[in-house]
Structure 1
Amino acid sequence: MATTPQNAWHGFRGDGRRTTIDVGGFVHDNIEPYAGRPELLTTPTPPT
């Protein structure tokens, strides 16, 4: 069985997801608005 490093969740808010799976709660607790340069947000690329 694989082991999980003790500091795997360092820097993330909320602690409920350490014992259960709650993707929505994790995203809600940890999402932050993008405050970077607008040049990074460009138009979509053509399909490959």
Structure 2
Amino acid sequence: MNDITQITPEHVIFIPSVLLLGLVIGYTLGARAVRAELDKRRSRMKE
């Protein structure tokens, strides 16, 4: 039987790539939300 504590090469590649993808998606969505909020505030200040 396989040892449960053994890390396969797939884990070494897959897990960091999923974490990196999550960081990129989170950064993109967060930046978009901040830009939208700043645009709302600027339009309110012009009025």
RCO comparison, higher one (Cα < 8 Å, 6+): 1
- Please say which structure displays the higher CA radius of gyration: 2
Larger helix percent: 2
Q: TM-score, normalised by structure 1?
A: 0.23
With the length of structure 2 as denominator, give the TM-score of the two structures.
Answer: 0.23
